[in-house]
């Protein structure tokens, strides 16, 4: 099966899980055509399809609850219940039980592709070493959340540089306010609006619900934002349609009624975002200038790349440590895991991704 057939089959399955925003899906494909890095981000379904045949080196690696779609841009900031700034993985849309090395290989692959896109300057081999070093250190220490207060001054400084300007942030949030919607999306908005207004009940009736466009992999799925003026400033909540992992599509199994998202957040070693809520097929979260995904472009703003990659490795272990029954098996497997073998699998996956991208862009160019 080639990339075009895989995409068609996945999108057909996806349309049975949620309403599809056609305009956003077209925008996703336009982004995917720009470079292998956004293509990689937008085709997790293809990654899981290629994984079994290109990762035979790790056929015996123990499984854990993985992030799944882990990459450089799946990290961000939020505030915990005490108002402290927290940094870590902030998207578990594709969470699934997989070999623990799955997340590590995908994270390393994102380094290789980001370097090709001139987003990173670090040598990918050195970056792989930093990620694995952080992962091993975290596993040995039973993990620890990234609370950007007294500890982690360098990471705190990096995070603060990445926070959004409040004026431009709110302008961007409202840029889709005049969008026209299909009947399916209007129905989705009604469901999302009810949930969003409940989450902003303190603001009273003056709550605006608007469509929102963000990310790459989830483009095409309904996403809305509720905005209100409250006690001197703006507050907002986002509701995004939550669908089963692409791993469910590949396995051809019936989706479970409960999302793995909540399990991941609750069992990982982390300080959770108290505003994240799961409402059946919707995930609701607070969005604000200090609660943002750190985009790859931010890595060019004087960030310490080796330190950041080490932290990403540590945070990945924080997530995997939530699978308590696998801790001992992963610890044992880590002792024999070689950096170069993991990098080799990441390279193979990148090569396959680039070939798919070339085929995808060749066909798209003829459309």
> Counting beta carbons within 10 angstroms of the beta carbon of residue 184, is it exposed (0 to 12), middle (13 to 18) or buried (19 or more)?
middle
Query: How many angstroms separate the CA atoms of 350 and 47, rounded?
Result: 10
What does the pLDDT read at residue 65? Answer: 98
What does the pLDDT read at residue 94? Answer: 96
In a domain? residue 74: yes
Q: Which of 362, 280, 288, 258 has the alpha carbon at shortest distance from 2?
A: 362
Q: What is the pLDDT of residues 14-32, one digit of tens each?
A: 999 999 999 999 999 999 9
Q: What is the DSSP string of 55-90?
A: -GGGTTPPEEEE-SS--TTSEEEEE-TT--EEEEE-
Q: What is the pLDDT of residues 189-214, one digit of tens each?
A: 999 999 999 999 887 877 999 999 98
3-state SS assignment for residue 225: strand
How many domains does the chain contain in total?
A: 1
Q: What is the pLDDT of residues 154-175, one digit of tens each?
A: 888 888 877 878 888 898 888 8
In a domain? residue 322: yes
Q: What is the pLDDT of residues 286-327, one digit of tens each?
A: 999 988 776 665 555 557 889 999 999 999 999 999 999 999
In a domain? residue 328: yes
- Split at pLDDT 50, 70, 90, the class of 185 is confident
In a domain? residue 280: no
Q: Which of 86, 60, 71 has the alpha carbon at shortest distance from 316?
A: 71
Q: What is the pLDDT of residues 68-98, one digit of tens each?
A: 999 999 999 999 999 999 999 999 999 999 9
Other Cβ atoms closer than 10 A to 19: 20
Q: Which residues pair with 286 in a beta bridge?
A: 237
- Split at pLDDT 50, 70, 90, the class of 184 is confident
In a domain? residue 33: yes
Average pLDDT score, the chain: 92
Given a contact cutoff of 8 angstroms between Cβ atoms, the answer to whether 94 and 334 are in contact is: no
Q: Which of 195, 216, 178 has the alpha carbon at shortest distance from 42?
A: 216
In a domain? residue 180: no
* Dihedral over alpha carbons 349, 326, 255, 46 (to 10 degrees): 0
What does the pLDDT read at residue 161? Answer: 78
Q: Give the angle 138-141-142 at the CA atoms, nearest 5°.
A: 85
Query: How many angstroms separate the CA atoms of 107 and 209, rounded?
Result: 34
What is the DSSP secondary structure assignment for residue 224, as one 8-state letter? E
What does the pLDDT read at residue 19? Answer: 94
Least confident of 131-140, 276-285, 340-349: 276-285
CA distances from 103 to 55, 57, 75, 213, 356 (A): 12, 15, 13, 26, 21
Q: What is the DSSP string of 271-306?
A: ---TT-EEETTEEEEE-BTTB-B--GGGGGTT--HH
Structure tokens at 157: 């400084």
Residue 49 has pLDDT above 60, yes or no: yes
What does the pLDDT read at residue 280? Answer: 83
In a domain? residue 43: yes
In a domain? residue 321: yes
What does the pLDDT read at residue 52? Answer: 96
Strand 63-66 and strand 96-99: the pairing is: antiparallel
Identify the domain containing residue 328 by its residue range. 3-18+25-162+244-272+293-366
> Counting beta carbons within 10 angstroms of the beta carbon of residue 50, is it exposed (0 to 12), middle (13 to 18) or buried (19 or more)?
middle
Report the percentage of the chain scoring pLDDT > 70: 96
User: Where do we find the tokens 């040995």?
Assistant: 140
């Amino acid at each position: 099966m080639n990339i075009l057939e895989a995409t068609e089959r996945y999108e057909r399955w996806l349309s049975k899980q949620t309403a599809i925003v056609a305009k956003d899906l077209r925008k996703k494909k336009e982004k995917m055509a720009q470079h292998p890095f956004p293509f990689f981000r937008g085709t997790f379904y293809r990654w899981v399809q290629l994984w079994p045949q290109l990762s035979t080196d790790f056929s015996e690696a123990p499984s854990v609850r993985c992030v799944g779609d882990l990459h450089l841009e799946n990290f961000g900031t939020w505030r915990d219940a005490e108002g402290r700034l927290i940094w870590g993985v902030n998207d578990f849309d594709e969470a699934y039980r997989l070999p623990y090395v799955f997340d590590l290989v995908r994270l390393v692959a994102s380094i290789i592709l980001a370097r090709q896109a001139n987003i990173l300057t670090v040598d990918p081999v050195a970056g792989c070493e930093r990620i694995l070093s952080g992962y091993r250190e975290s596993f040995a220490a039973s993990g620890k959340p990234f609370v950007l207060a007294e500890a982690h001054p360098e990471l705190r400084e990096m995070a603060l540089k990445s926070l959004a300007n409040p004026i431009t942030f709110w302008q961007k949030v409202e840029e889709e306010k005049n969008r026209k919607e299909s009947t399916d999306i209007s129905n989705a908005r009604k469901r999302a609006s009810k949930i969003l207004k409940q989450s902003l009940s303190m603001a009273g009736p003056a709550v605006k619900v608007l469509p929102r466009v963000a990310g790459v992999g989830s483009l095409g799925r309904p996403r809305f934002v509720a905005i209100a003026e409250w006690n001197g400033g703006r507050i907002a909540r986002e509701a995004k349609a939550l669908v089963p992992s692409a791993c469910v599509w590949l396995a051809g199994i019936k989706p479970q009624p409960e999302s793995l998202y909540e399990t991941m957040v609750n069992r990982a070693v982390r300080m959770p975002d108290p505003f994240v809520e799961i409402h059946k097929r919707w995930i609701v979260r607070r969005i604000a200038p200090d609660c943002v995904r750190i985009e790859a472009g931010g890595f060019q703003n004087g960030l310490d790349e080796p330190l950041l990659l080490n932290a990403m490795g540590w945070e990945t272990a924080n997530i995997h440590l939530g699978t308590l029954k696998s801790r001992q098996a992963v610890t044992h497997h880590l002792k024999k895991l070689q950096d170069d073998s993991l990098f080799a699998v990441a390279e193979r996956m990148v090569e396959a991704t680039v070939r798919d991208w070339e085929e995808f862009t060749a066909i798209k160019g003829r459309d």
